[in-house]
Amino acid sequence: MIHGRPSFSRFLCTGRVIADEEMLGSRRSLLSRAIALVGQRSAHTVGATAGAVLEAIKPSDENTSIQVMWKDGVSAKFHRAWLRDNCTCASCRHPTTLQRQILTSAIPLHPTGRAALREDKSALSIDWDDVVEGSDCVRSEYSAAWLRDHAYETPPSGYDSRHCRQQRMDMKTLWSNDLAFPTTTYDAMMADGFKDGMRQLQTWGVLLIKNTPLTMDATEAFARRIGFVMETIYGGMWTTRPENPEKAYKDTASTNQALGPHTDCTYLYEPPGLQIFNCVLQAKSTSSSLEGASRFVDGFHVVEWLRQHAPDTYKFFCDTSLPQYCYDDDVSLHVMRPIIQLDAARNVELVRFNDFDRSPITHLSHDQVAAYYKHHKILWDAINNGEVAYKMNEGDMIVVDNHRVLHGRHAFQGERALVGCYIGRSEYDSRLRVLGLL
């Protein structure tokens, strides 16, 4: 298959899909543990402190809310409707899946019932006047610690990470061209060193794993320690090397040409969260020690540099959506997204940059197009100034946070082969939560 334009983010699929009952069961187990962890985390956030003991309660807002006071002087208000919706009894929330069973739309705007403190002041109880569809519950109980952890009358940050627990840029260590790669070994990642390695990956956005077996099976086994292999138009597991006899289409990645720094699958609504490269064959140097070397750039460092030193460029790429696309014989993928993607509180959550998958800009005004090219030069200079080159040895595997770190390679002569795959961002974040790292 011939693509409509060269792409630096295409790889040959040589793998297979694993979707048997064992793997599906593993995923259910993973999700169950992640859900359970949310509840466990809430129970332990306050702990044995003054926040675990209530002092008093009183009606508020014409008895549509309840004001709760803790022994340490902190207070918070809770709408009665919110308390009804978030009852954690076995009738309102399934005891195994922890999924809500009560029908939220059936809850009155102002549910009524008698509220009281437990005798030891460790919990608030409410005896509801009526049942609600989906549950036969008439009594709810909320521990002091749970209420403290779930109090929602906080300064308006626009983003509550206590229970969503999303990755944010301020959790990261940013780096430029002076990066010393965080490093571990394959054996460690397949055993007790897994959590520490994932902590390094979360912090730095890249992780070098030494002494990796030179097989696709070993690569996949590691990937599945994190989560399911992400299926894309390339399949699951893939190999990229020049003149691959198994390839079904022509692609720049399957050549020996240089690839500029980019992130992958920018034309997807949610690009892959992680990308894994296992070097099973490295090109021999002929004229330069950098032949076949991989290139990495911390996109979050670039964004922070722009914010501080080129605020107009930062704002332009936060606020201006750009067209990304991928054509194939049976594929037409398009999205319009900004290069710098922000969450509801304007925190940076994703860098989406790949000039080779950008379609012609036709949606901007004449002046905006001129501004795009002006700001692009500033962005490109910042990317180039932050680049780190590392020539992988055979047995080196590198994991890249594709929402943060740009990757590429230097040109080379002869043969060079990497096997790898993608992992979805949701799977990656889930694993971090289950490990207690997020």
Answer whether 262's CB lies under 8 Å from 438's CB. no
Nearest to 238 by CA among 255, 220, 265, 261: 220
Answer whether 401's CB lies under 8 Å from 205's CB. yes
Q: What digits encode the pLDDT tens for the residues 9-22?
A: 322 333 333 334 44
Distance CA 65, CA 325 (A): 50
Rounded to 5°, angle at Cα 292 from 287 and 297: 120
Residue 279's SS3 state is strand
The residue type at 371:
A
Tell me which residues of the chain have a pLDDT lower than 70. 1-50, 153-163, 243-254
pTM confidence score: 0.81
The domain ranges of the chain are 51-153, 169-434
Encoding tokens for residue 137? 């519950």
| CATH code, residues 169-434 | 3.60.130.10
Q: So what's the pLDDT on residue 257?
A: 81
Q: So what's the pLDDT on residue 161?
A: 56
Distance CA 240, CA 218 (A): 16
Q: What are phi and psi of 329, to 5 degrees?
A: -55, -35
Encoding tokens for residue 44? 């332990």
Q: So what's the pLDDT on residue 374?
A: 98
Please say whether the dihedral angle defined by the alpha carbons of residues 428, 433, 436 and 438, taken in this order, is positive or negative: positive
What architecture is domain 51-153? 2-Layer Sandwich (3.30)
Q: What are phi and psi of 280, to 5 degrees?
A: -100, -10
Nearest to 80 by CA among 119, 105, 98, 107: 107
Answer whether 167's CB lies under 8 Å from 122's CB. no
Distance CA 181, CA 204 (A): 9
